[in-house]
Each structure stands twice: as C-alpha cells, then as structure tokens.
Chains A and B, each alone.
Chain A
C-alpha cells in the first residue's frame, strides 16, 4: 500500500498512466471527511442504501465489546446497476473491511469508503473494463451487452 499513488498525481500530469485508485465526483470529499480521523473498520453489512448521489453501506462493528453501526459512503449506484448489480448481489450479513476517514462531524459514525473489500481483500465490486461500452461499431468482435438480471 505504500506505493499507492494519489489524486495529486493526476493534477500534476502523470494522468491516466499513474492514476490513483480513488477519485471523486458529486462533492469534494475533503469537505466532508476529516483527514485527522482515519479509520479501519471490519463488520457485517446490516443495510445497503442504494441511493444517489452516494450509496451508503451500513455495517455493524464491535468496539470495546459493544456493537456500533457505521455508515460508509460509496458512489452512484447507477454504474453498478448497469453492470448487473441488484439489491440481491451483496447480502446483508456479508462481512467487509473498510478503510477511510470519519466525517468532520465526529458525532456521526460515518466515513468514506476509500477502499471497501471482502475480508480476503477482494474488491466489493469490479470496475468496468470494456463490457457495457456503447456500441460504436469499432470492434466487430464486440460482445452483446451483458444480460440484465431479472430480464424476461
């Protein structure tokens, strides 16, 4: 993890070649989360809010023997829906690891999901790499669009 490149690299011009794994949109993350309150959480998902502008993953962690509910901020669910994710894809009860920073309002148990993985380190979801690209006729071997779950 020490080799992680950061967002600043993008701005300095190394760009896509060296881009960090984390970026943002909708709002400036620095406005919402406190760099002086880093956290690492491990717990079971108790609720998933598939809402815009940000998905919120609610997890139950144990601190000093007591359960705590933390809300983890993700991104727009729409991108995942187009990759076939549904509310059934990630089950309540799934255990995950999150690293991020707590909201500047420390009375809230909320944090950004800087990296959200299963307990073995696999990413909770996978990014798009070619599938689902619009049809532009440039690739004659282009596979048909991925089948939507629940389709008739």
Chain B
C-alpha cells in the first residue's frame, strides 16, 4: 500500500498564484467578445494521409489563467483590457525579478525568511528557472478567467460525503506517522514518479515545461508531456484494459467524432488521486484543431463517488517551435534523499528519534 500525502499542495500553490492575479482585478466587468488582434489568414484543416485532422506537432498549454476562477470574479470571459492588464502584470513581475541584487547582501534571516507554502520558510530559487506562462487563455476568441467553464462558477464541484470519508480514512492512516518517515509518504512529483499537478487531463502546472508533443498514426495518438517524459499512448478504436490494470496516466482509448478526437481515460491508479478521485475517475478529452496554431482542448472530469457533479474545462494548446528537452527526474533526484536524510539528521539533532 502506498500513500499520497500533500500531493495537492504544489497544485494549490500554483493555482493560488494565478488565481490571486485574477482576484486583483476586483469586480469583473462586462464581457467584450472581440476576437484577438492578429493577421487573419485563410486556413484549411491540415489532414493526415487517412483524412483525419492533423493534431501533430509541439504544443504549449501554459497560461496564466487558473484552473478555478477566483470567487471574487464572476464572469468566465474577461475584457481585452483586463486580459492585457493581467499579462502586463506578469511581464512586469518578470522584469522586476530580473533586476540586480545587492552584492553585499547578507545571508537570509536566521529562523527562516518568512515564506510559507511550498517555499517553507527558506525561499525557493530564482525566478529565472521558471516559465509558467505569460498569456491569458483565449478560447473561441474569448479571454478566459478560469479554465473550468462548467459548472458556471468555474470551480471544481463539491466533493461527496463518500469522498470526504475516504479523505478522513487517509488522514487516520497517517495519524502518528510523519510525512518524512518514508519515501512512500512523499509527493509523487518529489519521488519523480509523475509531474506535479494533474497529468490526465492535460492541465498546465503553472511552473515550467508545459509542453506537449502529439504524434498521430491511424491506430494511436501519442501525447508526450515534457514533464517526466511521460508518453500517453491512446489506442484509437480500442477497448479499456481490465480494471486491475492501472497505469500512472490511466488507460486511454480514443475515437473520432467528425473532426474532433475524443479520448476517454479510466483505470487510474489509486495512489494518484485527482482531487480525491481515482478508482472511478473518468476523464473525457476532446481535441479540436481550430486554426494554424491552436488546438482547442476540452476536458470533462466525472466521478460520482467523488464529485457532486461532473466538471468541464477548456484550454488552448498553442503551437510552439521550441524543443522539448529530456526531463530525467529520478536520475538526478538528490532532493528526495536530502529530504529524507535531512529529517533523520534533524531528529538526531533534536533528539526526537525513537
């Protein structure tokens, strides 16, 4: 039995960054439906040899639009001015963090620098390592305040009593045990088993390497995520694996509905819950190429044993000619041994070792 503890913490932090940016807009104004400025070119759907829309290439799902809409923002759609302001805020921040430091700066404060969350009172590292996205998500010409479009409040629906009971049981199981006691208690990302944040559906992680490569054959569609070099191979026209086969990314089968690729994923592993859903989680993804540089990606998450209702989100995948680089995580994972040996070392220093 393995446990997942605190896996969601990074996601929450990431979401908070983006959500907080939006929240600063205050009361949302009425919607402008202007399509984005740009040069309109005649475009015809590129197709593969077997006549299907060609989804291939390298795509980025990075965006500053958060998964969930901040409660202070009421509309899904932002005006162009609001979107521009958010983007300006983002680029101003990068510029500010690029500024020189004081070469005579002392060591940071004894006792910690006051940072909380994932940065855990010790700060993190320089902003230049990050590449979280710079643009508000644009779907069908609309600037979006959240990736979730349904329910209408743009938020993950409430969980069921059953799901909360499962969460309680997990907590109970951890009672009396420390989160650094065993590698199995560490988050999946820290163990280099998966990326942080959801991997199916393809929600951006709001930190870095939000790149995807799609390779398409008549029988398979392969979706490579840069993070942790995870390739999900979707079998076109296939049937799901037996219920006891539960790959890390789930088991994906697909079919074409007109010009839309529809992918259904089930068989998620129990130790990899998406907001508490795993055993009965079903993710349906719809890939629709809408212009030369964009795939509209729509995902629906269902699990009646976890969520009080399904929810759906939309993310633009934008073509990029950047290269995808190897994210060989496990091989260089000094962090996990540092964390575990650090806990042992600290116990010794503090005399808490049993």
A–B touching in complex (CB under 8 Å): yes
Cβ of B314 to closest chain A Cβ, rounded Å: 15
Contact status A24-B323, CB under 8 Å = no
Contact status A22-B338, CB under 8 Å = no
User: A136 on the interface (CB 8 Å rule)?
Assistant: yes
Cβ of A151 to closest chain B Cβ, rounded Å: 10
Contact status B13-A11, CB under 8 Å = yes
Which residues of the partner chain B approach A36 to less than 8 Å between Cβ atoms? 110-112
Give A79-96 interface residues, CB cut-off 8 Å to B.
79-82
How far apart are the CA atoms of A123 and B126 in the complex, in Å? 8
Task: Select B128's contact among A51, A123, A145, beta carbons within 8 Å.
Answer: A123
Contact status A14-B342, CB under 8 Å = no
User: B343 on the interface (CB 8 Å rule)?
Assistant: yes
Which residues of the partner chain B approach A112 to less than 8 Å between Cβ atoms? 122-125
Contact status A56-B334, CB under 8 Å = yes
User: B19 on the interface (CB 8 Å rule)?
Assistant: yes
Contact status A117-B101, CB under 8 Å = yes
User: B10 on the interface (CB 8 Å rule)?
Assistant: yes
How far apart are the CA atoms of A126 and B322 in the complex, in Å? 18
How far apart are the CA atoms of A130 and B22 in the complex, in Å? 19
Give A127-141 interface residues, CB cut-off 8 Å to B.
127-130, 132-140
Which residues of the partner chain B approach A134 to less than 8 Å between Cβ atoms? 59-60, 62, 135, 293, 318-320, 322
Which residues of the partner chain A approach B321 to less than 8 Å between Cβ atoms? 135, 145
For chain A, give the interface size range: 35 or more
Contact status A29-B124, CB under 8 Å = yes
Check A6/B114 contact, CB under 8 A, given A15-B19, A79-B131: yes
Contact status A128-B126, CB under 8 Å = no
Task: Select A17's contact among B59, B89, B109, B135, beta carbons within 8 Å.
Answer: B89
Task: Select B291's contact among A23, A75, A137, beta carbons within 8 Å.
Answer: A137
How far apart are the CA atoms of A107 and B338 in the complex, in Å? 10
User: B224 on the interface (CB 8 Å rule)?
Assistant: no
Check A17/B342 contact, CB under 8 A, given A114-B125, A125-B128, A128-B134: no
Which residues of the partner chain A approach B205 to less than 8 Å between Cβ atoms? 25
Task: Select A22's contact among B86, B127, B187, beta carbons within 8 Å.
Answer: B127
Contact status A53-B107, CB under 8 Å = no
Which residues of the partner chain B approach A129 to less than 8 Å between Cβ atoms? 91, 94-95, 98, 134
Closest B residue, CB atoms, query A148? B323
Task: Select B105's contact among A23, A40, A126, beta carbons within 8 Å.
Answer: A40
28 contacts between A and B (CB under 8 A): A8-B117, A11-B16, A17-B89, A25-B207, A26-B10, A26-B196, A26-B335, A27-B339, A30-B120, A32-B339, A38-B110, A52-B329, A55-B129, A73-B334, A78-B209, A79-B129, A80-B128, A82-B131, A100-B123, A105-B342, A116-B126, A117-B101, A124-B128, A127-B126, A134-B293, A136-B135, A136-B293, A139-B38
Binding site for B on A (CB under 8 A): 1, 4, 6-8, 10-11, 13-17, 19-36, 38-40, 49, 51-56, 71, 73-82, 97, 99-101, 103-108, 110, 112-117, 119-130, 132-140, 145, 148
Binding site for A on B (CB under 8 A): 6, 9-10, 13-14, 16-24, 36-39, 59-60, 62, 64, 86, 89-91, 93-103, 105-131, 134-135, 138, 179-180, 186-187, 189-190, 192, 196, 205, 207-209, 226, 291-294, 316, 318-323, 325-329, 331-336, 338-339, 341-346, 349
